[in-house]
Amino acid sequence: MHDHECEPLPQELRRLFADGGIGRTLPVELPEGSLVWPDPGYAQHLPHDRPAFWISDKPATAQLWSQLRAAHPRSGLWPVLLEESVQPWSAGQIAPDPPEEIDFYNPAMFMAEVWADWVEQAAEDQIDNLAPYGRRCPGLAPPGVLMADPGYVADWYAGLLAERGAPLGLAAVNRGADALAVMGWQGALHHNEWTAPLAAVVRSWEDRFGVRVIGMGFNTLELSVAAPPVTPEHALHVAAEHWAFCPDSVFQGPGTLVEYAEEIRGRNAWSFWWD
């Protein structure tokens, strides 16, 4: 039986790393796939000297996703289930940013700016939908309490999403949140054209709520949550963060922060979509 435990990264995957993936190993056998380069028409920072990510030819199994997540500390490759594989992923309709770009953004400041910009233009009855906060941005919510190991919760949610038959993406990142920028995802339609500040928010959620990035689509993002808010007050505070991150989830969903907070209370998955 062949031991993959100390198998070096395949030559193809080493190209994803600035340092050539030196010393990284992949104890998992991958299916057929290919590297994805950004289409020059979509890329923001040219020239790109390496591909943005790797994508499998066929849908990934939940087992493969879990194995790759567990191997991430050794491989440096974070797995992401990709919906709508041709557009944008296979077509390269992506705009990658280096992970260092994320460091420039502060999640609390991003939230405050989104809040202030929206309040300035909103009608009074619209502002009522953000009760009890209204015009006042409440800032970031306190951390949640872990219900289970974040890896375990991530594997559970990946198992559910894998049933949709999504191909697998692999991004060379230190943490899952950075995959949003490195893979060039541009899903926050009509909200925020720069992905780096959104990735900064997801980093913060990784730290405070045991969030893990599981899947991405053309205009969707799927996260597992190991430490969700469980009280109505905490859920309302987190709902305010969700609104600043993705207003459509609230206003085109239940309609108000209070109702949305009830939906996310105690939930181990957060699903976002932008219209």
3-state secondary structure at position 92: coil
pLDDT at 43: 59
pLDDT at 72: 98
3-state secondary structure at position 250: helix
pTM of the model: 0.95
Residues of the chain with pLDDT under 70: 1-5, 42-48
CB atoms within 10 A of CB 245: 25
217-270 confidence digits (pLDDT tens): 999 999 999 999 999 999 999 999 999 999 999 999 999 999 999 999 999 999
pLDDT at 21: 95
pLDDT at 91: 87
pLDDT at 229: 98
Beta bridge partners of 215: 81, 222
CB contact set of 271 (below 8 Å; sequence gap of 6+): 220, 221, 222, 223, 249
pLDDT at 39: 82
CA angle 188, 190, 196 (to 5 degrees): 40
Type of residue found at 75: S
Pick the closest to residue 62 from 180, 148, 157 (CA basis): 157
212-229 confidence digits (pLDDT tens): 999 999 999 999 999 999
